[in-house]
Structures are given as C-alpha cells and as structure tokens.
Homo-oligomer: A and B are copies of this chain.
Amino acid sequence: MRNQPQVASDAGLSKQRVVAEAIRLADREGVDGLSMRRLAGELGAGAMSLYHYVANKDELLDAMIDVVFEEIELPPEDTDWQSAMRQRAVSARQVLARHPWALGLMESRTSPGPANIRHHEAVLACLRRAGFPILMATHAYWVLDSYVYGFALQEAGLPFDTAEELAAMAEDVFLPQLPPEEFPYLNESAGALVAAGQGPPEEFIFGLDLVLDALGRLRPSA
C-alpha cells in the first residue's frame, strides 16, 4: 500500500494524471460524456486500470472538484480585504466558468476536499484580520460565496458567453420567443443589456462590488 508517485510522467498512470485527464474530458464533452471507459481510452489504458487510482467514479468526481478548487486563487495577503476578496471572487468566477460541470456536481457531494478547506480557511483569515468579528466574518463568507456560486451557476445556464453573442442571440432567439405584449419588462431588459454592451464579466463585478460595499459598511471601526 505505497502512496502513488506524486509526479506524472508521460507514460504510466497516476491519480493526478487520471484526474487531470478527466477534467479535460469533462471540459470538452460535458460531465455526461465522462465515462470510465472513455477516460481510460483517452489515457490509452483499459477501463479497469483506472480503479487502481480511484476507488470508484464518485471518488474521481470528488477529486476533480478539489482540483478545480486548487485553481482558484487564494486571497492575497498584501492588500486591503476588499481587494483581496474581489480578486479571489473574480478568480473563482473564471475557474467555474472554465469548468461549468463542477457546479452541477457540488450539489450531491457533501464532503469538501482539502483544497476547498484550505480555501475556506484563507478567506476566513483574511476577513478576521480585516477586523470582522467572528460571526460577521462567517456571515460575510456565506454572502460572498453564495453570490459567486450563484452567479456562476446562472452564467453556466446562459447560451452565450460575451456581450456580442448576447446581442446576436437576442435578435434571433429571445425576441421572437417572448412576445413584447406578454413580457414587456423582459424585452425592455434584454434591449437595455444589448444597448449597454454588458456581458457576464461586467455584470459580475457590479454585484460583487455591491456586496463588498455593503459588507464594508458592517465592519466595525471602519
């Protein structure tokens, strides 16, 4: 029962290589396209070989999620708390947009991996050092993470990624499907978004700063 080798060479499997290839496959084909046989094929191995590195598919999925968490930048320690939180949130949104399947997996799997825990700890540390009392720091964490995850979840459901694509889709898909007399406000809103050239990144920053601002107002002693 030795540990797995911690570096992945070109030939030879390892837990890291299996998980990394699984992530690549899920990014490319969606999580439904990720099967043990397919993944093994991608690695040039037989399906059952994978089970030497992961106990079962669930453990593989857990490991994939934790690698995703590793990709999210920790809050930097050399700036004010608002900049640190903003930077971490922006990084989280980027990572989750890159691996949209990760969000769908978070429901269902309950036990957080080590990277997830390390992240939690670092964020709480940043807030506490900034002067938030214990309970308030916990509240702040919940609010921020809820916003980030929820935004990423909504973004994953969008059929477009940029403001330009939004404009194109609005013309072709939304308006024909949403009669203005029945849904006046939706039409109005879609039009305004198109006119303003707002895409998901700008929208994200708006809400993020709103929340950070509100949290700043709760911080004692300014």
How far is it, in angstroms, between the C-alpha of A145 and the C-alpha of B111 when the chains are bound?
A: 25
Q: Does B110 lie within 8 Å of A103, measured CB to CB?
A: no
How far is it, in angstroms, between the C-alpha of A112 and the C-alpha of B173 when the chains are bound?
A: 12
How far is it, in angstroms, between the C-alpha of A109 and the C-alpha of B156 when the chains are bound?
A: 9
Contacts of A159 in B (CB 8 A): 110-111
Residue in chain B with minimal CB distance to A182: B121
Q: Does A196 lie within 8 Å of B139, measured CB to CB?
A: no
How far is it, in angstroms, between the C-alpha of A182 and the C-alpha of B124 when the chains are bound?
A: 13
Interface positions, chain A 182-197, Cβ under 8 Å from B, are: 182-183, 185-186, 188-189, 192-193, 196
A51 within 8 A of B: no
- Indicate the member of A157, A188, A213 with the most B CB atoms within 10 Å: A157
Q: Which of B124, B158, B185 contacts A185 (CB 8 A)?
A: B124
The size of the chain A interface, using a CB distance under 8 A, is 62
State the copy count for this chain.
2
Q: A13-21, A41-49, A69-77, A202-210: which lies at the B interface?
A: A202-210
Evaluate whether A193 and B148 lie within 8 angstroms (CB atoms) in the complex, with A153-B103, A153-B153 already known: no
Evaluate whether A192 and B135 lie within 8 angstroms (CB atoms) in the complex, with A117-B178, A146-B154, A153-B150 already known: yes
| A 81-105 to B, binary, CB cutoff 8 A, 1 in contact else 0 | 0000000000000000000110111
Q: Does A206 lie within 8 Å of B148, measured CB to CB?
A: no
Subset of 10 A-B contacts with CB under 8 Å = A31-B108, A110-B159, A124-B185, A124-B189, A135-B192, A135-B193, A137-B185, A142-B203, A143-B211, A146-B147
> Besides the contacts A125-B185, A146-B153, what 19 more A-B pairs have beta carbons closer than 8 Å?
A108-B156, A110-B158, A110-B159, A120-B186, A124-B188, A135-B196, A137-B185, A138-B189, A138-B198, A139-B210, A142-B207, A143-B147, A143-B207, A145-B154, A147-B147, A148-B150, A149-B154, A213-B214, A214-B214
Chain A positions within 8 Å of B, measured between CB atoms, are 30-32, 100-101, 103-112, 117, 120-121, 124-125, 128, 134-135, 137-139, 141-143, 145-151, 153-154, 156-159, 178, 182-183, 185-186, 188-189, 192-193, 196, 198, 203, 206-207, 210-211, 213-215, 218
